[in-house]
Amino acid sequence: MPSKRSRVLRHRPVLWTLCLAVVGASLLTKHVEGESDSLREELPAQLQTVRGEFLVLSAAVPDQAEGSIANGGATNSQRAVKKLLPDLKILEGSPDTILDLTKVFADDPFNGTAAADWTAELIETPSSVAEVTLDEEHRLLLSWQKAGEEDVAIRFRNLVSAEVIDTRFRVQVWVPDWTKLAFTVIGGLGIFLFGMKNMSEGMQTVFGSGLRQMISLVTANRFLAVGIGAAVTMVVQSSSITTVMVVGFVNSGFMTLLQAVGVVMGANIGTTITGWILVLKIGRFGLPLLGLGAFGFLFSRGDRIRYLSSALMGLGMIFFGLELMKEGFGTIKDLPAFESWFARFTADSYSNVLKCALAGCILTAIVQSSSATLGITIGLAEIGVIPFESAAALVIGENLGTTVTAILAALGTNTNARRTALFHVVFNAVGVLWITAIFVPIYCPLLKSLFDTSPDGLRKAIAFAHTGFNLTNTLLFIWFVPHVAHWLERIVPDRAVPSQSQLSNLDVRVLDTPLIAIEQSRLEVCRMASFCRDMTDLMRECIYDRRQHLDEKLVQEVFDREAVLDTMQDEIVAYMTNLFAGNVPHHIIDEGRRQLRIADEYESVSDYLVTIVKSHLKLRRGSLEFGTQEMEELASLHQAASEYVELVSQGMEKKQADILPIAKSHGSRLISRIKELRNQFLERMARDPYPPQASVAFTAQLNAYRRVHDHVLNVAEAVAGEK
């Protein structure tokens, strides 16, 4: 067995190897420490030529070594990385740029150390974008070469304390892509407008019944009319839609001039709600809102959820479109031509305020939406293209530009409708005149004292500038509404409107607003009912009140009424066809079908009333006439039929849900009376000879009155919702 000594000798080579390894490691460590100073002195020169190597090596070297690289042996706490210079974005072709780095020292980022104790050096420069040099006076010269973007890194070194601060900024030379910029702005505007339309349609559908009730509440009370106009505009999200609606209602006789004036003033207040929606400043949520709304719209089954989703989708489009417009304008705002052009719109004097207001007016007239131009104005102000004063003046002019829609809607309408459109123009024009007169000395300073006009509070300030103007203008005008209406009647005189002319009350421009369109068509159906009532009154006067002869003028008026009813039915059918071609809620479609049925029934009533008149004319031309008893019986029957038409028509106009049982009760008495008159006439014919033509005419008229009853009863069924 080997001894203990032999076992130790056997492992002696291993022990010597371990000892040599320890000694070698010690010598190597001392050698590295001796060479470290020269290595650290060479690193900065290498970092000047290799982009990105500085950050990599700084992360790889231990703390003590990093301090040595920066300042020859200082600790890591004496070295810092700060953002001292802003990034530069320069248009291609711009002259050389000189940055005075002594201004960086003046900002005192070095904790009170004197600027003379510091020096600067370039540690990274661009390779192609620009040529960068640093002179002895610490001025940085950038000679721009070509489009692109790269980094510039500078090291500030304290000569006394050895403290080091590294800073880095990015330089970019860019060429404007005009096609992309135009598409961005136009696309953002299109999405914004489509979002307004979607939100308007969705809100109209959801709050439709309440909106129609508000419209029916409009009276001569100017304050109530203003409130209803503001509320309706908040729902439909467009003063243009409200004014077009008002012009149509005045044209159809549903609304008087005094009522319309109040609603128009309220519409100007209601349209300012768009600015306050934009105050929410949730642009980054635009796409998520759009996506959520789209899913709800596509996959929901109920109409209410579907159109609430449509309104949500529209809201998302509004904010997303606004962000796109801001992005486009934010890019081109650096262009010298663009900046110099907008520099003209500085609202610092009365003439410049008028210039800004005129620009806002023209832009709104082109876009046909004050909400869209308001969004553009807010976007330009937020990115600093125009100051707050110019933005407020532009917003004031936008109120005048939106009157173009009302003017277009009034073309071809009656006198009161044209007066309403003229009032909209006068109301806003007078408002612009007085607000621009006090804009610089009073209005703008007042807004600045109430609101923060920095980028954070700019939206709120502009929204209030819009609301404050319209609210104050309404408060000034509302006391003179009767006088203004009288003045409008003098300025726009009455003109005769041919009764047989093609109807113009159904305005195709409101087809985009199904709720208003269906209400307008209902008014036309009510006019058809009124024409039928007029026909029965004219027939009573020319046939039964004047039994000696038929008044040819009154007879012609009956025929004219029937021709107008034919035209009205044709236009209602065409109007409904265009309405149903759009995106229309189911309840609007159902009501439209009822209106089509009622229009057809009234047209049929007019046909049978004309048949009765023609029967009398035929007898007179044959030198025949009914006896006294027959004329009295037909006169009483005509009176009963007229009352029946009046009863059902009033129920239809008032949307009386229980009209059907009432109509059936009165109708059964009318039918009984017709049967009774037929039996009595047949008994008289059996006793006394009667001219055959007169017998045929009498029974034909009884049948015509029976048909009148049937069609009027069908109207009652349509009103009640029965098929």
Task: Say if residue 222 is in the same domain as residue 294.
Answer: yes
Angle at 457 between CA 455 and CA 463, to 5 degrees: 115
pLDDT given at position 667: 92
Q: Give helix 239-252 / helix 222-236 axis angle, nearest 10°.
A: 130
pLDDT given at position 342: 67
Note whether residue 36 is domain-resident: no
Angle at 269 between CA 266 and CA 273, to 5 degrees: 130
Buried b (16+ CB within 10 A) or exposed e, 386-399: bbbbbbbbbbbbbb
Instruction: Tell me which H or E stretch contains 353.
Output: helix 350-367
Q: Give helix 178-206 / helix 208-216 axis angle, nearest 10°.
A: 70
Note whether residue 542 is domain-resident: yes
Note whether residue 631 is domain-resident: yes
> Nearest-CA neighbor of 645 among 530, 548, 506?
530
Environment class of 487 (CB within 10 Å of its CB; exposed 0-12, middle 13-18, buried 19+): middle
Task: Say if residue 647 is in the same domain as residue 713.
Answer: yes
Task: Say if residue 340 is in the same domain as residue 367.
Answer: yes
Total Cβ atoms within 10 A of residue 90? 19
Task: Say if residue 410 is in the same domain as residue 482.
Answer: yes
- Coil, helix or strand at residue 456: coil
Dihedral class, residue 119 (left if φ above 0, else alpha if ψ from -120 to 50, else beta): beta
Of 175, 206, 223, which residue constitutes the final position of a domain?
175
Cβ–Cβ < 8 Å for 263, 242: yes
pLDDT given at position 208: 64
Total Cβ atoms within 10 A of residue 246? 33
Cβ–Cβ < 8 Å for 205, 307: yes
Quote the pTM value: 0.60
Task: Say if residue 242 is in the same domain as residue 154.
Answer: no
| CATH code: domain of residue 712 | 1.20.58.220
Dihedral class, residue 384 (left if φ above 0, else alpha if ψ from -120 to 50, else beta): left
Task: Say if residue 270 is in the same domain as residue 197.
Answer: yes
Note whether residue 549 is domain-resident: yes
Task: Say if residue 444 is in the same domain as residue 585.
Answer: no
Note whether residue 34 is domain-resident: no
Q: Where are the alpha helices (DSSP H) in 543-585?
A: 552-580
pLDDT given at position 533: 92
- Coil, helix or strand at residue 202: helix
Which two three-digit tokens encode residue 89?
Answer: 């974005």
Phi, psi of 142 (to 5 degrees): -115, 115
> Nearest-CA neighbor of 149 among 237, 89, 62?
89
Domain count along the chain: 3
Cα–Cα dist 329/348, whole Å: 23
Task: Say if residue 351 is in the same domain as residue 241.
Answer: yes
pLDDT given at position 337: 63
Q: Which 8-state DSSP code applies to residue 411?
A: T
Which two three-digit tokens encode residue 168?
Answer: 């880095």
- Coil, helix or strand at residue 165: strand
pLDDT given at position 24: 44
Q: Which domain holds residue 224?
A: 179-491
pLDDT given at position 7: 43
Q: Which 8-state DSSP code applies to residue 368?
A: T
Task: Say if residue 422 is in the same domain as residue 558.
Answer: no
Which two three-digit tokens encode residue 311?
Answer: 């309104």
Q: Parallel, antiparallel, or unpaired: how do β-strands 164-174 and 88-91 relate? A: parallel
Within 8 A by CB and 6+ apart from 221, the residues are: 262
Of 126, 154, 175, which residue constitutes the final position of a domain?
175
Task: Say if residue 114 is in the same domain as residue 234.
Answer: no
What is the spatial order of strands in the sheet that 139-144 belongs to? 97-100, 139-144, 130-134
Of 491, 520, 538, which residue constitutes the final position of a domain?
491
Note whether residue 129 is domain-resident: yes
| CATH code: domain of residue 161 | 2.60.40.10
Task: Say if residue 184 is in the same domain as residue 171.
Answer: no
- Coil, helix or strand at residue 441: helix
Cα–Cα dist 495/418, whole Å: 11
Helices and strands, number each (H, E), in the chain: 28, 8
- Report, as ranges of residue numbers, the positions in the chain whose pLDDT lies below 70: 1-78, 105-116, 208-213, 215-217, 219-220, 252-254, 281-283, 330-343, 412, 495-505, 507-510, 512, 546-550, 723
Q: How far apart are the first and last CA of the chain?
A: 121
Note whether residue 38 is domain-resident: no
